[in-house]
């Protein structure tokens, strides 16, 4: 995997969300680094736990901003977040059982981050841009 770079094209205009997205990119890059170096499964597992924890924090914050802004598609966005949690849990379980490679998990992270931000998060920009920063 090429190194994921957070750039302004991923900016949603809320500095804290942009920082969180950039941190998620960093976590995906760390995971990819561990995979490419065939690091100990324990190191990879620790990074995966960190991803799970941070995803929860990020989703909660993002949803709270959308709720404050009165974003009309909040429930749909929450369902997408729920689906992401479920997929991440499933992929993690498959990895532990040897049914998924670490590279496949990294690929999922890369695809999810870039596509979700570009295709879904960009939709709430107008609503949240009205909130005081």
CATH code for the structural domain at 12-128: 1.20.120.50
Residue 102 has pLDDT above 80, yes or no: no
Which residue ranges make up each domain of the chain?
12-128
Instruction: In whole angstroms, give the CA distance from residue 15 to residue 98.
Output: 39
Predicted local confidence at residue 119, as pLDDT:
92
Angle at CA of residue 100, ends 97 and 104, nearest 5°: 150
Predicted local confidence at residue 45, as pLDDT:
82
Give the predicted TM-score (pTM) of the model. 0.89
Instruction: In whole angstroms, give the CA distance from residue 97 to residue 6.
Output: 32
Predicted confidence band of residue 38 (pLDDT cuts 50, 70, 90): low
Residue 32 has pLDDT above 90, yes or no: no
């Amino acid at each position: 995997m090429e190194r994921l770079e957070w750039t302004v094209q991923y900016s949603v205009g809320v500095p804290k969300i942009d920082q969180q997205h950039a941190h998620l990119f960093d976590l995906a890059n760390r995971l990819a680094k561990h995979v490419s170096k065939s690091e100990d499964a324990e190191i990879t597992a620790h990074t995966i736990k960190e991803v799970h924890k941070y995803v929860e924090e990020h989703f909660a914050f993002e949803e709270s901003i959308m709720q404050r802004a009165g974003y009309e598609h909040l429930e749909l966005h929450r369902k997408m977040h729920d689906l992401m949690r479920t997929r991440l849990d499933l992929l993690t379980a498959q990895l532990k059982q040897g049914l998924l490679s670490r590279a496949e998990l990294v690929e999922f992270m890369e695809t999810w981050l870039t596509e979700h931000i570009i295709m879904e998060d960009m939709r709430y920009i107008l609503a949240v841009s009205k909130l005081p920063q």
